[in-house]
Amino acid sequence: MKETKPSEQFDIHSLDQLFSMIGKSSDFSRIQLETGHNGLTLSFYPSCRTAARFTIICSQASTVENLSINLHLMRRQSAIPQLVFEELTIGSLSKTTIAIAYIEGLTNPDIVQTMKDRLKGTVLDIVYDSSFPERVIGDDANTPFPLFLTTERIDRISYVITSGQIALFTSGSPYVLAGPPTCICSCTIITRRGKTLPCRA
């Protein structure tokens, strides 16, 4: 059995120090204020490797089933102040948390508002994974073109967000929805003889 090492903790006492730590390669999932301390304590966790979409030359960091870790991985990959996370709760029984990630000032605000309105108007009892939000926010299920990109690669998610798109993180699911897709991003979904064509963008 592999021995599990305890997570490292670092005390942050200023905003400049905090932003500096965010931009580094260490993995922390949450920031919490502990009683009796004047600083913020950051807990660090190891990242996972991609499983469904394996690549050789790209980053192997992937999302997991923990929403807090996924949001940190996204923040570490794109450490810019304009990156915004908005959380919504859907599912009357499951109370599933969905985080909408986008870059303020770059992403079309109408698309962000439409996404939030459709998620808030969702009437579901249980949301198991990211496939459920995809069904309720899509415009036309019969279209031959992909409505969303599904991926577990952090670098891929970072690319689509910096292109002005939106990413949806679902608690309990390692897969992230990104959209609306462009023609360049959609080339990763086009297949030939069962193999996915690489996207050079």
What's the pLDDT tens digit per position in 8-25?
A: 555 666 666 666 665 554
Provide the 3-class DSSP secondary structure of residue 111: helix
Q: Is residue 74 pLDDT above 50, yes or no?
A: yes
Name the residue ranges covered by the structural domains of the chain. 1-46, 50-196
Q: Is the separation of the CB atoms in 57 and 87 below 8 Å?
A: no
Q: What is the mean pLDDT of the chain?
A: 72
Q: Region 15-39: what's the mean pLDDT?
A: 53
Q: Which amino acid type is present at position 15?
A: L
Q: Region 108-118: what's the mean pLDDT?
A: 90
Cα 169 to Cα 95: distance, rounded to the nearest angstrom: 14
Provide the 3-class DSSP secondary structure of residue 178: strand
User: By percentage, how much of the chain surpasses pLDDT 70?
Assistant: 56
Higher pLDDT, 17 or 154: 154
pLDDT value of position 123: 81
pLDDT value of position 85: 95
Q: Mark residue 55 as left, alpha or beta (left: phi above 0; alpha: psi -120 to 50; beta: remaining).
A: beta
* Model confidence, pTM: 0.66
State the Cα angle at 22 between 10 and 133, rounded to 5°. 115
User: In terms of Cα–Cα distance, which of 180, 154, 166 is closest to 78?
Assistant: 154
pLDDT value of position 179: 84
Q: Is residue 103 pLDDT above 90, yes or no?
A: yes
Q: Output phi, psi for 182, to 5 deg.
A: -105, 175
pLDDT value of position 58: 60
Q: Is residue 199 pLDDT above 70, yes or no?
A: no
Q: Region 38-47: what's the mean pLDDT?
A: 51
Q: Which amino acid type is present at position 200?
A: R
pLDDT value of position 77: 85
